[in-house]
Amino acid sequence: MQVFEQLLQNNREWAAEMVRQDKDFFHRLQDQQAPKFLWIGCSDSRVPADRITNTEPGEIFVHRNVANMVVHTDMNLLTVLEYAVKVLEVEHILVVGHYGCGGVKAAMGNQNLGIINPWLKHIKDVYRFHKEEVDALETFDQQVDRLIELNVREQVMNLAKTITVQEAWHKHKRPCLHGWVYGLKDGLINPVFDMEPGTHIDPLYEYNM
């Protein structure tokens, strides 16, 4: 059997097991999804949204990219966000980084990664804003992990700068925004930053409603 065929076999076993536990499981999910959460996480294979939160299909709407970034010209992210907030009416958006993130590590260095460079420049900007605080830490690993926390906070604030979130806050008093960092060492999520609906940001970024 080839490696990818293992996935198909696992899938057949999983589907059968789900039906064995609950015969209506797929029927219920077939016609609609009503997730309460949008997850914006890192693409890292060790941080699967549903596994680490022990949730089922249908519970979390997911977008993942390298280093869980909210980039204002990323139509992929903006489309997911708009759909999650306006159509699915999610109550919470989770920006989930993870300690030891390779994307953040790479952004702190000078290696030429070709087509990856422009994406990492957004993380370099976050590093530049907080360079003094980060560089004051003793080891490189500590610096990386602090920047990961600061990056999550920055990306949550980027969400608050979008018209999608500002309109939803104004009209519906939702969603709440959360910044979390997952620990690869212990499997635990560290909540680092929250923004309630209506929180004021730098007026420069607040649109007229």
Q: Is 149 in the site for Co ion (CB under 5 A)?
A: no
Considering the complex, state which of residue 130 and residue 174 has its C-beta at the smaller distance from Co ion. 130
CB of residue 98 vs Co ion: minimum separation in angstroms?
6
Supply the minimum distance, in Å, between the C-beta of residue 78 and Co ion. 21
42 lies in the binding site for Co ion (CB under 5 A): yes
* Binding residue for Co ion, selected from 38, 40, 69, 101, defined by CB under 5 A: 101
Concerning whether 44 is annotated as a catalytic residue, the answer is yes
As given in the structure block, the two tokens for residue 151 are 């990056």
Strand partners, 64: 41
Q: Which of 35, 38, 40, 44 binds Co ion (CB under 5 A)?
A: 44
User: Which residues does 197 contact at the CB level (< 8 Å), separation at least 6?
Assistant: 168, 169, 172, 173, 174, 175, 176
The number of beta carbons lying within 10 Å of the beta carbon of residue 175 is 26
d(CA 112, CA 95): 27
Please tell me whether residue 60 binds Co ion under the rule CB under 5 A. Answer: no
**Which one of the listed residues 20, 31, 44, 64 is annotated catalytic?**
44
Catalytic residue check, 176? no
What letter represents residue 201's amino acid? I
Q: Give the integer Cα–Cα distance in Å for 53 and 40.
A: 14
Give the residues lining the site for Co ion (CB under 5 A). 42, 44, 101, 103
| Catalytic sites, residue numbers | 42, 44, 46, 98, 101
